Structure 1
C-alpha cells in the first residue's frame, strides 16, 4: 500500500461528505450502547491490522530510519493511544448502568474541600509504562462523592429519542497522530456528534490508514475524513451544515476562526461578539511548566529526573503541545547545576531531524527575543536554546527551553518552597493547562479511597 500524500479534497467532495453526515446525525445520536460497543470492538480489530503500517509511515515522514528505536514513540503516541482510547470507552460503556465505572476510580478530598479523581495509573500498562507518574482530575467546587455520577457520562442520561444530533468539524493536530482520531471518538461517543475530520497537512499521509481503522464509523455515515489546506479549513468552519468546531492547533488559528482578523477582530473580542457563532472547543499549544521540588536529591534522583525532563522536552522531537517549555527551580538550590548539566548532555545527544514545518523560523525568533540565551548544539539538528526568564525576583528561577515548537495550581509543599510570600505563583505569560512535578520523595497514598 502506498502512503503518499493523498490529493486534496475538492469543495464538491466536502459538500457530499457534509450532506451524508448531516443526514445521519440524528440516527447516530439515537444509536444504542450495545451498537456502539460493537463498533468500538470492530475499530480495535481494524486498528490492529493497520498499526504496523501506521507506525512505518509516521516514522518515515519524521525522518527516522527503519528500525530506529525512536519509532517506539510512534507506536505509543499512534495506534497504541487510539487502542487505549477504545478500551477506555468500552470499559465505561460496559459499566454504564448505574455508572458503576466510577467505583474503580480512587477519590480523595483536597485541602480546599474539592474532590480529586486519580486517573493515572488506571491500568497495569500505565504502571509499567508510566512508572511513578500520577495524574488527577480536580473537580469544580460543589461536586462531591454523593453526586459525582451526575457529572459523568452525562450525554447518556438523555434518553436516545430525546437527544439532538449534531455535526462537528474536527480540525486535526499535525504533530501527534492519535490526537485527531481520539478527538473524533470523543465527539461521537461522549457528545453524540457525527464528525467531519479534516487532517492537518503535516500528517495527512495517514488519511488512508485512518480511514481503514475507522471504517465501521464511516460505513454508518457517522464519520468522514478529508484533507486540505488552510483555506479549505477556513471554508469548512463557516459551512452551514457544521454545528460545532473542535481544533487542536495554535492560539492564532483558533482566534482567526472565532474572531476573524485585523482591527475588526480586536473590536469583536472587546465586545464579546464572535465572528463565528458556533461552539468552538480547542486544545491549543501552550507553555507547559515543570516545577522542580527542591530537597535532598541524591545522584540517582538527579540522573533519573534529568532523563524524565529530557523526555518531556524531546518526545516527538519536541513538537508536542504538552512538551515541557519552562523549568521552575528554587533559587540557591545546590543540586540545580548538576541537574541542568545532565539535562543538557542528554539533549545534546538527541540529534533526530526537525520535521515540523516552520521550526527553524520559530527558533530564530526565540533566539532574538531570549535573554542570556544558552545554545546547546545537537549535531545537524536544530539546537536547543535555554533562556533565563527570571523576571520576578520573588521566589524562583525560570528557564525557557525552545526548539521551534509551537498556571498550574501549586500544592502546599510547592507554595512553601517557592513562594516566601505564601501566595500562589503566577507564571508570566503562561496559559498552560498542564503541569508536571519532579519530586523524588514518595507521596503518601493513604488519603485515596
Structure 2
C-alpha cells in the first residue's frame, strides 16, 4: 500500500508542476470541464451516497443530491469565472457590490450573483464580511489569493475527507488547487469508501492531469500520508480529537507535546471541526402558520442528515418572556413527531444519543430526536461539545427584542463550544423595529457563518460564501478550526458570511411586505418534493443553462 501511496504523491508532484505552467485561461477551461464531469456523474454519486448512509427512499434522498453533486458543480463554475476575471486583468470581485456594515466593516455581496440566482434564491442574500480595518480598495486588490501567482508551485497536500457530507472532500481539494496552487491526495473517510468510483468519474479531469488522487484507508493510511516528506500541507474536516492526534500525537504523548508547545506534525494544517451551533429565536407576534413554518425551520437545522452535521443546530435559544414560547415549542414537538423517522447511520451516532440520555435522564424522545430542556442547574455537556447526532437542547433566557437578542448572542459566544455557525429566526418587522441595533448585535456574533431566517448551514452550499470557523483559533486551541474553504471569489481577510432569507415563504411573504417569491426551501426536512428538486439542482449544477434553471421550479413549487 505504501508503494501505491508514494507513486500517487510522485504523480501529484508532477501535476503541481504542470499546474504552475498553466495559464489562467487554461485553468478556467479545466474548471468548466470538471463542472461538466460532476454533472455527468451526478446519478452515480447520489446513488452511492444513498447506499453509504442507508437513506430512506423518498424526500430524504434530496439531501444527498443537494449536498453532493448539486453543491459541487456550481463551485467549479464560479472558480472558472474567477480565473476569467484574473485573465482579463481584473480583481476577482470586480463589479461586486461592496458596502459598509456594522462596526465599519466592508462586506462583499456574493448572493445573488447573476439573474439565475435571483430566481433560484428569491428573497435571499449573502455577504462576506471582512475583518476590521480592511477597506474596499484593499479588498479588491487582495482578492484572488494565490490564484494571481501564475507560475507558483504549491506542492502536494493531504486532504482528510469528511464522512458525513459527500461534497466536502471534493470541494476541499478544489480550494487547495485554486486558492493555493496545491495538488491533493484525498483520503476518504471509511464511511464514504464506496463513493470512490463516483468521485473518480466526477473529478476525472483533475485526476487525468495529476492534480488529484483519491485513496481509501484507515488511520494508518492517514498517518503515513500526513508524515510523508513530500506532503507540505494537511487539511482535515472532522473532530478536534482527530485534529489534535495528528498535530500533537495520540494519548499521553499528545498531551505532553501540547503542553510543551512542540507539535509532532512539522507542517501547516488547516481544519473545519464543527461545534455547538445556536438557533436563536427572537420573540415576536407570530401567526399559527408562522409558528409551524419556523418550527419546521428549526427542526431542519437539527434533523438534516439524521443530525450528523458539524453545522447542525444543537442549542435552541428562546425567550422565557415570549408569550408564544410554549406554542412554538409545541410545534417543534409536532414536527419532530410527524417527520419520517430516521435511525442514526454515522458511526457512534447512537452512542452519542445514549450519552445525552444518561446525562439528561428527563429528556424527551420525540420521533428520532432527543429533546433536552435545560435550566441553570442542568449539566453543561450539551453546550460543551457537539453530539453530531439528533440531540436538540432548549435554553430559555429573559428579555424581548434587542435585549433578548444581545443576551442570546452573549450566551452563544461565551457558553457554546465552537464558532462555525449560528442562526437567527426573527420576523422582518422585528428586525425593522430594532433598527441599526440588530446589525450591531450580528456583528458581535463570533461565528464564521451567520444565517438570518436561513440555516447558517446553507452558507456551505453557496459558492461565493467563505466557509470555516470564525478567525482566531490556534493549533493548541483549535475550536472549530483554522482557515476557510469554498470562497469561489477568492476573497481575502474574511471574517464571516452573513446570509439572509425571508421570514415567510411565498405567498405569505409578499402579503407581509417581503419581496420574496420562493416556496418552502427544498432543504427543509418537511419538503415533500426535496428529492426531485435536489436532482434538478444537480442537473443545473452540471450545466447552468436557463433551461435547467426553469426545470427546478415545477418540483420546488410543489414542496
Q: For residues 295 and 316 of structure 1, do their structure 2 counterparts lie closer, same or farther at Cα, with a shift above 3 Å needed?
A: same
Verify: 1:23 aligned to 2:21, yes or no: no
Verify: 1:384 aligned to 2:369, yes or no: yes
Q: For residues 223 and 58 of structure 1, do their structure 2 counterparts lie closer, same or farther at Cα, with a shift above 3 Å needed?
A: same
Is the 1:195–1:224 contact (alpha carbons within 8 Å) kept by the matching residues of 2? yes
Alpha-carbon distance in 2 for matches of 1:152, 1:390: 46
Q: 1:428 aligns with which of 389, 393, 415?
A: 415
Alpha-carbon distance in 2 for matches of 1:400, 1:440: 30
How far 1:246 sits from its partner (Å)? 0.5
Alpha-carbon distance in 2 for matches of 1:342, 1:400: 26
1:188 — aligned with what? 177
Q: For residues 63 and 354 of structure 1, do their structure 2 counterparts lie closer, same or farther at Cα, with a shift above 3 Å needed?
A: same
1:359 — aligned with what? 349
1:312 — aligned with what? 301
How far 1:392 sits from its partner (Å)? 8.8
How far 1:181 sits from its partner (Å)? 0.3
Is the 1:363–1:403 contact (alpha carbons within 8 Å) kept by the matching residues of 2? no
Deviates more, 1:122-131 or 1:186-195: 122-131
1:276 — aligned with what? 265
Q: Deviations over 1:312-367 (max 9, x none)?
A: 11112221111111111122212221112112221222312322121111111121
2:448 — aligned with what? none
Q: Deviations over 1:56-91 (max 9, x none)?
A: 22123322355x122111111111111111121122
Alpha-carbon distance in 1 for matches of 2:197, 2:350: 30
Q: For residues 92 and 12 of structure 1, do their structure 2 counterparts lie closer, same or farther at Cα, with a shift above 3 Å needed?
A: same
Verify: 1:341 aligned to 2:326, yes or no: no
Q: Deviations over 1:354-396 (max 9, x none)?
A: 22121111111121123742221x3xxxx31122344399xxx
Deviates more, 1:208-217 or 1:107-116: 107-116
1:116 — aligned with what? 107
Alpha-carbon distance in 2 for matches of 1:261, 1:157: 39
1:88 — aligned with what? 78
Alpha-carbon distance in 1 for matches of 2:234, 2:401: 37
2:158 — aligned with what? 169
Is the 1:326–1:401 contact (alpha carbons within 8 Å) kept by the matching residues of 2? no
Is the 1:119–1:136 contact (alpha carbons within 8 Å) kept by the matching residues of 2? yes
Is the 1:416–1:422 contact (alpha carbons within 8 Å) kept by the matching residues of 2? no
2:521 — aligned with what? none
Is the 1:63–1:353 contact (alpha carbons within 8 Å) kept by the matching residues of 2? no
Q: 1:42 aligns with which of 1, 17, 33?
A: 33
DSSP-derived class of the 2:103 partner = coil
Q: For residues 132 and 287 of structure 1, do their structure 2 counterparts lie closer, same or farther at Cα, with a shift above 3 Å needed?
A: farther
Is the 2:276–2:386 contact (alpha carbons within 8 Å) kept by the matching residues of 1? no
Alpha-carbon distance in 2 for matches of 1:151, 1:424: 35
Is the 1:415–1:423 contact (alpha carbons within 8 Å) kept by the matching residues of 2? no
Q: 1:233 aligns with which of 222, 241, 244?
A: 222
Is the 1:385–1:402 contact (alpha carbons within 8 Å) kept by the matching residues of 2? no
- How does the TM-score come out when normalised to structure 2? 0.70
Q: 1:13 aligns with which of 4, 15, 20?
A: 4
Alpha-carbon distance in 2 for matches of 1:353, 1:122: 38
Structure 2: 5+ residue stretches without partners:
392-399, 440-497, 499-559
1:410 — aligned with what? none
Alpha-carbon distance in 1 for matches of 2:94, 2:19: 29
How far 1:183 sits from its partner (Å)? 0.5
1:438 — aligned with what? 425
DSSP-derived class of the 2:81 partner = helix
How far 1:117 sits from its partner (Å)? 2.4
Q: For residues 217 and 403 of structure 1, do their structure 2 counterparts lie closer, same or farther at Cα, with a shift above 3 Å needed?
A: closer
How far 1:123 sits from its partner (Å)? 4.8
Deviates more, 1:118-127 or 1:30-39: 118-127
How far 1:195 sits from its partner (Å)? 0.4
Identify which of structures 1 and 2 has the higher relative contact order when contacts are C-alpha pairs closer than 8 Å and 6+ apart. 2
Is the 2:277–2:311 contact (alpha carbons within 8 Å) kept by the matching residues of 1? yes
Is the 1:389–1:399 contact (alpha carbons within 8 Å) kept by the matching residues of 2? no
DSSP-derived class of the 2:371 partner = strand
Verify: 1:264 aligned to 2:256, yes or no: no
Q: For residues 100 and 89 of structure 1, do their structure 2 counterparts lie closer, same or farther at Cα, with a shift above 3 Å needed?
A: same
Alpha-carbon distance in 1 for matches of 2:408, 2:215: 53
Is the 2:281–2:425 contact (alpha carbons within 8 Å) kept by the matching residues of 1? yes
1:182-261 matches, cutoff 5 A: 182-261=171-250
- Cα RMSD between the aligned structures? 3.0
DSSP-derived class of the 2:28 partner = helix
Count residues with an aligned counterpart.
Answer: 422
Q: For residues 129 and 203 of structure 1, do their structure 2 counterparts lie closer, same or farther at Cα, with a shift above 3 Å needed?
A: farther
DSSP-derived class of the 1:276 partner = coil
